[in-house]
Structure 1
Amino acid sequence: MLIFVLIFATAGITTFALAFGDEKAVKVGVNQRTEFNKLYDTYDQLNKNYYKDIDKEKLINGAINGMLDSLDDPYSDYMTKAEASKFHESISSSFQGIGAEIQEKDGTIVVVSPIKGSPAEKVGIKPNDKILAVDGKNIRGMSANEAVLLIRGKKGTKVTLTIQRAGSHDTTQMTITRDEIPLNTVYADMLKDGIAKIQITSFSENTYNELLTALNDMDSKGMKSLIIDLRQNPGGLLDQAIKISNLFIPEGKKILQVEDKNGKREVVTAEDGKKIKVPVAVIIDKGSASASEILAAAVSESAGIPLVGEKSFGKGTVQTASDFKDGSNMKFTTAKWLTPNANWIHQKGIEPNYKVNMPKYAELPLINPDSKYKVSSLSNEVKAAEEMLKVLKYNPGKVDGYFDEDTKRAVINFQKDAKLKANGILQGNTTIQLMNKIREKIIKNDTQVNKAIELLKK
């Protein structure tokens, strides 16, 4: 009997303990053993001789946290009662925050992906962005759970993140207004020529049912072929990934394998039931992780469905989650999962059959709307704005990071078209609208979707 949970490629996000069979996930129990004598002695000496009163609960929490930290595994973690409450929050229909999945990596908090339609996505936060500070507080060395407690908050309140884009030494501050983050996970659109595109943004309790509803809707609109978009999908619940994989994989074919520390493998195979009959292509990127990688690998290796896009994140381990009686929680890695062909993609990712990069302007850095740029300003954010203006056909002159008269004219022309105050200053709504226009252009010129369409038309 194997009891396990597959979590997001983040710490501190929704997770469930799952069991194959009739057994239930167990609670954590502690048996006294001689190897703990050193720990007990340390506790007793501190409690008796430390120069001031100690917080006993904090001391115990620190000891447990230290054990898990010593594993050097970003997916094994201890959560206090407050952290565990946040941990379980996302199993509800919504939560309040900025909407970004994060993980701790080498002492730094890194974005796995923003949630579709969230405040984080709207301001331009991207996978692999590093969060260095929250409201000016340095968070290096924090666990993802600790960072989540700082970043989340009530709808309408603001939080300022110091962001460093992957591959850049520059940082920028982004002030984000928290909002209600609905956990709708499936979004469907009918494209031209009967090609449906369904985006799965994560795997939560209702994702399979949401997908069935979307498929029925697309069928009613004349679906002839299908694109499954797993980009920036950080993962989620294992049972949902298995159910969805089953829609595409012939009965008896492998979906995944789970291997414990002794090398014993459990194979999960596709069952009979509803199957998708139309041609399918799947899109992945560097934000596709965990359960989304299970789906991508399964349909690729067991159903021959082509993968389009970029190499995926690479999260190939399995976790168990257990609760303590006081409401705190511990999760730790118990096994690794393998693809149908027994490939372990951990820290490697899945290579698509058709590698397609997004346009270069899709990787442009963030511009802080709170910053004010005008003639004579010089910065990398000005350079990013100039590149955006150039892509949108507002000739900013030389793209060099220096805000000159050509840049001012380009900003004024953009402001006029956007029906904003035409003062030639880059700030506030002008910055937000500029980034929104780039986002719209990225969606309109989605090279990865276009490649998937090309394959489905053959």
Structure 2
Amino acid sequence: MHLRKRTLAILMVLALLAGGVSAYGLISYKMGGLPIAGFSAGSGLSGQNSANFAKLEQAYQLIHSQYYQNVNDQKLVDGAIAGMVQALGDPYSTYMDKQTADQFQMSLSSSFEGIGATVQSINGRITVESPVKGSPAEKAGLQAGDQIRKVNGQVLDGKPVNEAVLLIRGKKGTTAELEITRPGTNDPIHVTVIRDEIPLETVYAENLGDGIGKIQITSFSENTAKRFAEELQKLEAQGMKGLIIDVRGNPGGYLQAVTEIGNLLIPNQGVILQMEDRTGKKEIFKSKMGSAKYPIVCVTDGGSASASEILAAALKEAGGYPLVGEKTFGKGTVQTSQTFADGSDLKYTIAKWLTPKGNWIHMKGIEPDYPVALPDYFKLTALNPDTPLKRDMNGTGVKNVQQMLIGLGLVPGREDGYFSQQTEDAVKTFQRINGLSVTGVVEGQTAVKLNEQIRAKMKTNDTQIEKAISVLHSMIK
């Protein structure tokens, strides 16, 4: 097969959306002096390489001619390429057959259908990198680090991430019954997600008052830099004195998007990032911005990865701006893409990126200047209204109820997952306060109302944003 070569810089946490394959991390970008390793049609092979390819061809011919059943030649070739990529032991290098690659291209549109979560394979388990803001996955309580073990009864452990994505995605209105494992919990958690159309808006701006502006970037996609510039201009026109950049749960994205945003934030022509290829040759990306206009605070968490880490590191090291929240994910490599003539696609790592000061944060992450955790109820999954929870029951669902009640100021007496008399009394109190039938059972409208009030509480009690505001006020003064 002949390769259609593309010169692409990709920064992603193998962000394969569980509603289609993510467009995160793909944009045309000239790599300057960085060589792109790749196959070349008609290139000669010699020595050991020639012997290795002869061995590969021999294996192909043996299976093709002597295997006891007829085999699909295309499947053999796809499997050989996928096997080579898997042998790299690199979760950020992947081979997509034509079907999966087509879905990847579909996800470049303004919306797609699915549950709305970026995932990758870690140690053979499909792991959530981040739910998309406002998506069914976010509303159901999925979090970065959750391992999706089953979907509608089908086991995902050990499956290639592309295959797992095909099982998780689906049409709007269909149901995905997920069994997940969450770090720090022993029992599996069952989550029901109704698939929906997922708009790919990535920039959310807000005037918090008192001269403070906030811009949340959920990923660095094709239009992110343009949308960021528009929203930043609006906040500046309103007299903004300080800015909060929120990249929590941002799995990464286009290199060009993050460098363009860096041009608007990193003062004094500071370094945004460095890229280093296999030979040690570096390419340095610098900001075009002059002096700083106002102080900035960046908020991060364990779901902030790749391109979002580039921005966080640039703000911290080149801008001298503080980070608030939690340590970032730690993904410091760059991928490129080669598309075959049949539409299949090969992505592989070609370089590592370094912070302005030359640090490689891969597998380490970036520590915040002000470590701040979120309240426990931010980590809860949504309750299923169709699954009753009542006296003497035990499990993760009951534990969620107890932690929700605590978050709402009620006293369930315990939070270990056993539905005690005091837990029932707290549920009855909640039902009376909200004009619901006082049954002591969590189901139907009681579950819906608990979900709604916890989501509202999360919006008004974000301890990380509160700390960022406090730090920013001190910087403005």
| Class of the TM-score when normalised by the shorter of the 2 chains | over 0.9
Picking from 4, 12, 16, the partner of 1:8 is 12
Aligned equivalent of 2:170, options 153, 168, 177: 153
- SS in structure 2 at match of 1:247: helix
CA offsets 1:212-238 (integer angstroms, 9 cap, x no match): 221222233332211111110111000
Match of 1:49 in 2: 66
1:199 aligns with 2:216: yes
Alignment counterpart, residue 208 of structure 1, candidates 215, 225, 235: 225
Of residues 427-436 and 52-61 in structure 1, the stretch that sits farther from structure 2 once superposed is 427-436
CA-to-aligned-CA distance 1:341-377 (integer Å, 9 cap, x gap): 0000001001111111112332345544443211221
Residue 169 (structure 1) aligned to one of 174, 186, 196: 186
> 1:28 offset after TM fit, Å?
5.5
Match of 2:19 in 1: none
Q: 1:330 — aligned with what?
A: 346
SS in 2 for 1:345: coil
Counterpart position of 1:242: 259
2:63 pairs with 1:62: no
Distance 1:212 1:55 in 2: 50
Q: Distance in 2 between matches of 1:129 and 1:368?
A: 18
1:288 aligns with 2:328: no
Cα contact 1:10–1:112 (8 A) shared by 2 = no
**Does the CA-based 8 Å contact 1:252-1:270 persist in structure 2?**
yes
Choose the corresponding residue for 1:346, options 326, 339, 362. Answer: 362
Counterpart amino acid of 2:14?
Answer: T
Aligned-residue identity in percent: 48
Q: Which residue of 1 aligns with 2:30?
A: 19
For 2:390, the equivalent position in structure 1 comes to 374
Deviation at 1:305, TM superposition (A): 1.0
What is aligned with 1:182? 199
Question: Residue type matched to 1:440 in 2?
Answer: A
Distance 1:148 1:428 in 2: 31
1:6 deviates by 2.3
Residue 139 of structure 2 is aligned with which of 107, 111, 122? 122
For the pair 1:261 / 2:278, whether they are aligned, the reply is yes
Give the match for residue 400 of structure 2: 384
Distance 1:264 1:99 in 2: 38
> CA separation of 1:258/1:48 partners in 2, compared to 1, >3 Å: closer, same or farther?
same
Q: Give every structure 1 segment of 4 or more consecutive aligned residues whose post-TM-superposition deviation is greater than 6 Å.
A: 22-27
Shift of 1:419: 4.7
1: CA distance, partners of 2:413 / 2:315: 48
Residue 284 of structure 2: SS of its match in structure 1?
strand
Report the count of equivalent residues: 456
1:48 is displaced (CA, Å) by: 0.9
In the alignment, the residues of structure 2 paired with residue 453 and residue 67 of structure 1 have an alpha-carbon distance, to the nearest angstrom, of: 49
Quote the residue 1:303 is aligned against.
319
Instruction: Find the counterpart in structure 2 of residue 449 from structure 1.
Output: 465
User: CA shift at 1:317, angstroms?
Assistant: 0.1
Deviation at 1:322?
Answer: 1.0
> Helix, strand or coil for the counterpart of 2:180?
strand
The CA distance in 1 between the partners of 2:226 and 2:292, in whole Å, is 15
In 2 relative to 1, CA 176–32 (structure 1 residues): closer, same or farther, beyond 3 Å?
Answer: farther
Task: Report if the CA contact (8 A) 2:243-2:295 is conserved.
Answer: yes
What is the identity, as a one-letter code, of the residue corresponding to 1:9?
V
8 Å Cα contact 1:378/1:402 also seen in 2:
yes
| Coordinate RMSD, CA, aligned | 2.2
Counterpart code for 2:269: G
| SS of equivalent to 1:116 | coil
